[in-house]
């Protein structure tokens, strides 16, 4: 890695040009941008080349647990040729089940956890905060993959032109994604369904609507439209994303939206589309202050929407979740405790702790679920998966609780 990365990095000559110049001009900035692209392209090629879907394998006991049938039942169905057998390596040894194998088993045994489209609404969950760097994209991608592993049909909509989520799904947003593959064409009135933007991912039953840098132009085109329109049309523009989602929601149980970290036209569209919200926050005083501002802005924004004639928002759930808690910092623990006291049930019980494994996976443009082996250490990896499970399974429970068709099952599981 070091050798090929070094060949892509700026040469001495380039660095010299930049550092001895009297001023840094556009061509220098363009050169730094070009070099940055090279680094991203290198990281993509290095880690994309390993087929991500092959890394995610499940043992027979994990499969039994996830599918809801015994290992014996699975083996019997395999022997009878009712379901596919897992792949084998060149020595003929089984290398575990893929998610697609698991979903085939679920269909065969009748244990798919899908919502009942007659009685249960699709969950449209915004991982929202106007603050940057709090973990919106990290949560979005890990939650999406967790839900896919549980067997749900999931769609992730990246509405942030930074395209972190798109990158974590293995796309190089600027090279692999054209503007007309993002939500832009629908929002611009060129398409009448978001179907065209659904991209397969290396995860079975998990689709992505990607973003790229050009999507930022949507902020201007929506703002321009609203400035020119009369008040009814202006409101209509803020409901476009909601309508776009309605055009595809029949295909999914859960739709996750990763919004940009600012109160702009796209974020306002997300607020109008979501029927559930998770607000990640870091447990520091300044981040907590931002979260407090976020809720004031949310209140004011919805008041304005309602004054303009929109219905009152009715969320199926809205929870603040503490992210990147570092237990060795007493200030983190104090703020986290205070948030439990103040928010009560508006705070997710589970906390996502700070974990080097998240950073290490992100550095490979992957999630922790996609790593075929621990990076930091076995213990850190195991703990990170446990934190993720606590947070993601609590959100899964909130989703299921909102679906009437899951109530009996939750009662039988002793969870309600």
The footprint of Mg ion (CB under 5 A) covers: 136-137, 164
- Among residues 67 and 277, whose Cβ is nearest to ligand ATP? 277
- Among residues 121 and 219, whose Cβ is nearest to ligand ATP? 219
The site map against ligand ATP for 306-325 (x = CB under 6 A) is -----------------xx-
**Which does residue 300 touch among ligand ATP, Mg ion, none (CB within 5 to 8 A, set by kind)?**
none
Backbone angles phi, psi at 76, to 5 degrees: -60, -45
Exposed/middle/buried for 234, CB within 10 Å: 0-12, 13-18, 19+? middle
Figure out which of the listed residues 352, 371, 395, 399 binds ligand ATP, where binding follows CB under 6 A. Answer: 352
Backbone angles phi, psi at 280, to 5 degrees: -75, 140
- Among residues 105 and 368, whose Cβ is nearest to ligand ATP? 368
Residue 31 CB, shortest distance to ligand ATP, in Å, is 24
Interior angle at CA 319, CA 156 and CA 402, nearest 5: 70
Count of CB atoms within 10 A of residue 38's CB? 14
Pairing assessment for the beta strands 154-158 and 206-209 based on DSSP bridges: parallel
Residue 356 CB, shortest distance to Mg ion, in Å, is 19
- Among residues 109 and 295, whose Cβ is nearest to ligand ATP? 295
DSSP-assigned letter for residue 151? T
Does the footprint of ligand ATP cover residue 69 (CB under 6 A)? Answer: no
CA diameter of the chain = 76
CA-to-CA dists, residue 367 to 153, 161, 323, angstroms: 19, 20, 16
Does the footprint of ligand ATP cover residue 264 (CB under 6 A)? Answer: no
What whole-number distance in Å separates Cα of residue 286 and Cα of residue 410? 39
DSSP-assigned letter for residue 258? E
- Among residues 74 and 156, whose Cβ is nearest to Mg ion? 156
Size of the site for ligand ATP (CB under 6 A): 19
Q: Applying CB under 6 A, which residues contact ligand ATP?
A: 132-138, 160, 162, 164, 261, 323-324, 352, 354-355, 358-359, 362
């Amino acid at each position: 890695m070091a050798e090929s990365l070094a060949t892509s990095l700026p040469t001495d000559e380039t660095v010299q040009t930049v550092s001895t110049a009297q001023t840094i001009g556009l061509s220098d900035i363009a050169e730094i941008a070009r070099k940055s692209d090279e680094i991203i392209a290198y990281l993509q090629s290095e880690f994309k080349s390993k087929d991500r879907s092959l890394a995610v394998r499940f043992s027979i006991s994990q499969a039994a647990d996830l599918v809801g049938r015994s290992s014996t039942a699975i083996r019997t169905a395999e022997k009878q040729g009712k379901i596919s057998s897992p792949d084998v390596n060149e020595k003929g040894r089984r290398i575990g089940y893929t998610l697609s194998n698991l979903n085939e088993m679920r269909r065969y045994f009748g244990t798919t956890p899908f919502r009942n489209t007659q009685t249960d609404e699709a969950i449209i969950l915004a991982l929202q905060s106007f603050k940057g760097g709090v973990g919106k994209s990290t949560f979005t991608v890990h939650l999406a993959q967790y839900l896919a592993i549980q067997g749900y049909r999931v769609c992730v909509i990246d509405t942030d032109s930074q395209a972190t989520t798109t990158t974590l799904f293995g796309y190089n947003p600027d090279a692999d994604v054209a503007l007309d593959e993002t939500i832009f064409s629908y929002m611009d009135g060129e398409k009448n369904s978001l179907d065209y933007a659904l991209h397969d991912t290396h995860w079975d039953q998990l689709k992505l609507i990607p973003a790229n840098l050009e999507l930022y132009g949507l902020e201007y085109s929506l703002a321009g439209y609203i400035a020119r329109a009369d008040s009814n049309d202006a409101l209509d523009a803020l409901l476009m994303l909601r309508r776009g989602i309605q055009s595809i929601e029949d295909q999914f149980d859960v739709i996750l939206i990763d919004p940009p970290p600012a109160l702009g036209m796209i974020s306002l569209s997300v607020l109008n589309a979501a029927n559930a919200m998770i607000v990640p926050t870091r447990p520091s005083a300044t981040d907590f202050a931002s979260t407090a501002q976020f809720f004031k802005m949310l209140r004011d924004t919805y008041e304005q929407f309602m004054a303009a004639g929109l219905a009152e928002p009715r969320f199926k759930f809205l929870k603040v979740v503490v992210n990147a808690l570092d237990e060795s910092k007493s200030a983190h623990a104090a703020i986290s405790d205070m948030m439990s006291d103040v928010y009560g049930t508006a705070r997710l019980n589970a906390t996502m702790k700070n974990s080097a494994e998240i950073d290490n996976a992100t550095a490979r443009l992957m999630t922790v679920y996609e790593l075929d082996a621990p990076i930091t250490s076995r213990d850190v990896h195991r703990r990170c998966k446990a934190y993720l499970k606590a947070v993601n399974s609590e959100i899964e429970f909130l989703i299921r609780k909102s679906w009437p068709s899951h109530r009996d099952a939750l009662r039988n599981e002793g969870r309600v």
